[in-house]
Amino acid sequence: MNGRTSARVGMVGAGQLARMTQRAAIDLGVALTVLAERDDDPAVAAGAAVEHGAADDPDALARLADRVDVVTFDHELVDGPALARLAARGVAVRPSPSALAHAQDKLLAREAFARLGLPGPAHAVATDEAGVAALAAAHGWPLVAKARRGGYDGRGVVVVADADELAAVLARGGEWIVEQRVPLAVELAVVLARRPGGAMAVHPVVETVQRDGICHELVMPARVPAATAARAVAVATELATGIDAVGVCAVELFVTPTGDVLVNEIALRPHNSGHATIEGAVTSQFHNHLRAVLDWPLGDPSMRALVAATVNVLGADDGDVAARVPTALAVPGAHVHLYGKTSRPGRKLGHVTVLGDDADAALTAARRAARALTRPA
């Protein structure tokens, strides 16, 4: 069209991450098309253009690719070989299928982290009896069994007390790895954006509070010693560079009581642990994800306030969350984000961020607002 071309980004998946990417796309004049299965998916409800289809359908991926300049992701449950074929015929797939594989395959990820010299939990392939025995001898039971592929939000993770429990898990089928159970002082995440040429914008380290494998709360910056934060950033940037990540990636890390920093996993897309960047950072992870996959200059990832606290809104009932918004907005400083989802117990429906000078005060306010959204008034 004369005088008007928008950069066209295609995103596989249409959940809340794509929804919040649509918000950034509006700012930047980017045309976002999502690959969606349902018209009430969060990003479709937010007005992103839609290609209908499933992320594991090679034809749907190809149709999406035909409409856009670059293909990126709101989740990693995508058909790897189909992506590789797209990339092979010249489609800009960012992150690349080989980088994305580190978020799809826990065994491949652990092996890559080790090859890069990055510290991670000791692990073994679950069917390798000698390896598991050595792991148990070194670290003791219980160990943690993790599905090699497809787990998220705590699904596909099982603490196993002994070899019999491990055998029961393996009997479910699928491939598993087994890891030492890391003693935890705190969990951290480093959210960064990386351009194809390697330039990076790294947000301050985030402290995450997980329950049952689901992220409940974030505090940015993390309340850890500066050396620990610096170590986390060093590990995350080495990892992102080492696997040639492009776009936003979120590196989740364990910190042990003795201060060791271990890589848990990496997501190659905007991530729940980066939600505090919407209000808390000069440039949000969603803006920088678009900028990175389009190979545009990245925005300043530093903070706009001393502290940002984010509390996820997890459904507690099947009540009308939207009707509770005014009560949540009555909490001073509460930035409410809803994902346009029907409430069900445990479902991520939204999040609330509060900025401030004090982490405890910001967390308290964000919890109050999040609670208002999940309970009848």
Q: How far is the CB of 35 from its own copies (least distance, A)?
A: 16
Q: How far is the CB of 353 from its own copies (least distance, A)?
A: 10
Q: Which two tokens stand for residue 33?
A: 């098309």
Q: Which two tokens stand for residue 8?
A: 């066209």
Q: How far is the CB of 354 from its own copies (least distance, A)?
A: 10
Nearer to its own copies, 13 or 97 (CB): 13
Q: How far is the CB of 293 from its own copies (least distance, A)?
A: 13
∠365-280-195 over CA atoms, to 5°? 150
* Contact assessment for residue 228 and residue 253, using Cβ atoms and an 8 Å cutoff: no
Q: How far is the CB of 367 from its own copies (least distance, A)?
A: 18
Q: Which residues contact 214 (CB under 8 A, 6 or more apart)?
A: 153, 154, 312, 314, 346, 348
* Contact assessment for residue 349 and residue 313, using Cβ atoms and an 8 Å cutoff: yes
Residues that bind its own copies (CB under 8 A): 1-7, 19-20, 22-23, 26-29, 31, 45-49, 282, 291, 294-297, 299-300, 304-305, 318-323, 325-326, 329-330, 332-333, 335-344, 350, 355
CA–CA separation, 167 and 218 (whole Å): 35
In Å, how far are 13, 110, 160 from 92, measured between CA atoms?
A: 17, 26, 42
Half-sphere exposure for 188 (CA within 13 Å, toward CB): 30
Instruction: Report DSSP letters for 168-218, one per residue.
Output: HHHTT-S-EEEEE----SEEEEEEEEE-TTS-EEEPPPEEEEEETTEEEEE
Nearer to its own copies, 81 or 332 (CB): 332
Q: How far is the CB of 6 from its own copies (least distance, A)?
A: 5
**Residue 248 β-bridge partners:** 193
The alpha carbon of residue 275 and the mean position of all alpha carbons in its chain are separated, in whole angstroms, by: 10
Q: Which two tokens stand for residue 149?
A: 């592929």
Nearer to its own copies, 34 or 229 (CB): 34
Q: How far is the CB of 319 from its own copies (least distance, A)?
A: 7
Q: How far is the CB of 250 from its own copies (least distance, A)?
A: 21
The secondary structure of residue 294, as a DSSP letter, is T
Q: Which residue has the tokens 């930047």?
A: 28
Q: How far is the CB of 345 from its own copies (least distance, A)?
A: 11
Q: Which residues contact 334 (CB under 8 A, 6 or more apart)?
A: 328, 352, 353, 354, 365, 366, 368, 369
Nearer to its own copies, 58 or 333 (CB): 333
